[in-house]
């Protein structure tokens, strides 16, 4: 079975590239700012399924560049989904907790009303809506706080800063869960494979690790596992202003994904251990 992956260098795309039978497309091969080029790749390669692991992820920059974010996160996935619908093959696309407004404290369910706070969330929500409108077999996987041993992410930032400082002030009123790119990739593969045989499983799903935590809590665990002596002081989001507002509540209910696809929530503390091991091996 062949699975076509949009994305090659991103955190999830690099993990997807580890699987047999996948073809990962670089930006040079399929630039998501050109939806027609993405369609051409699908039609030329005729895979058994398509996974979109590429996106415009610069949350703050999107506030100034919403038009491009909307093309990459909205129109390109829509074009992919339509091509997949025309070919009768499943399409899996990764989305985000940023489609919600971050209110309350209850875990978000896939059916809950959306309300993005900024341009990035709006662009991802546009993609979700257009993917569903294409009418094919699709799965949208909303996830949060993606980390890995690749690229730029919170784990690598904390390791760098913690090695140079005795104390860091970290936001403590944003609650969610870090999710390992390797686990997201595995979930996408399972979903694509199952959708081939059972299109009735199509829909929107949530996937993140457990247990819930704040960014400050996450930083503390990074320092504990990495044996770095750096104290963490809790601060509110208001003390760390950014161009784009972050949702305070990024908790997500992942029950539906486990029920339908038998994909359980992983423990991010174990995933963090693996990331640190990978980073140690790279050094």
Which residues have a catalytic role annotated? 120
Give the pairing type, strands 213-214 and 175-176.
antiparallel
DSSP single-letter state for residue 72: I
Question: From CA 152, how far away is CA 132, in angstroms rounded?
Answer: 31
Question: From CA 142, how far away is CA 10, in angstroms rounded?
Answer: 16
Does residue 151 sit in helix, strand or coil?
Answer: coil
Question: From CA 120, how far away is CA 103, in angstroms rounded?
Answer: 17
Question: What is the arrangement of strands in the sheet containing 49-52, beginning at the earlier edge strand?
Answer: 22-25, 3-6, 49-52, 91-96, 138-143, 203-206
Take residue 205 and report the two structure tokens written for it: 């799903």
DSSP single-letter state for residue 185: H
| 14 Cα distance to chain centroid | 13
- The per-type count for the chain, helices as H runs and strands as E runs, is 10, 12
Task: Answer for the pair 45, 65: CB distance below 8 angstroms, yes or no.
Answer: no
Phi, psi torsion values for 54, nearest 5 degrees: -110, 150
């Amino acid at each position: 079975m062949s699975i076509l992956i949009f994305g090659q260098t991103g955190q999830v795309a690099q993990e997807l590239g580890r699987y047999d039978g996948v073809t990962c497309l670089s930006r040079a091969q399929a630039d998501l700012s050109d939806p027609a080029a993405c369609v051409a790749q699908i039609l030329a390669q005729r895979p058994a399924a398509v996974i979109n692991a590429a996106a415009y992820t610069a949350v703050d920059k999107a506030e100034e560049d919403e038009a491009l974010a909307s093309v990459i996160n909205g129109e390109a996935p829509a074009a992919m989904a339509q091509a997949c619908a025309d070919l009768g093959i499943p399409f899996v696309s990764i989305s985000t907790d940023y489609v919600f407004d971050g209110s309350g404290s209850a875990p978000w369910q896939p059916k809950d009303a959306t309300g993005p706070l900024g341009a990035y969330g709006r662009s991802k929500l546009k993609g979700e809506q257009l993917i569903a409108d294409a009418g094919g077999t699709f799965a949208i996987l909303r996830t949060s706080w993606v980390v890995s041993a690749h690229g730029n992410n919170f784990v690598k930032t904390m390791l760098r800063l913690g090695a140079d400082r005795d104390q860091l002030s970290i936001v403590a009123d944003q609650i969610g869960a870090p999710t390992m790119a390797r686990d997201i990739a595995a979930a996408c593969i399972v979903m694509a494979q199952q959708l081939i045989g059972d299109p009735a499983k199509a829909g929107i799903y949530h996937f993140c690790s457990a247990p819930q935590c704040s960014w400050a809590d996450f930083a503390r665990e990074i320092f504990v596992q990495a044996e770095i002596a750096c104290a963490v002081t809790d601060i509110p989001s208001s003390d760390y202003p950014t161009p784009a507002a972050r949702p305070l509540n990024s908790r997500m209910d992942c029950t539906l994904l486990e029920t339908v696809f038998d994909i359980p929530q992983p423990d991010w503390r174990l995933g963090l251990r693996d990331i640190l091991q990978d980073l140690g091996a790279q050094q």
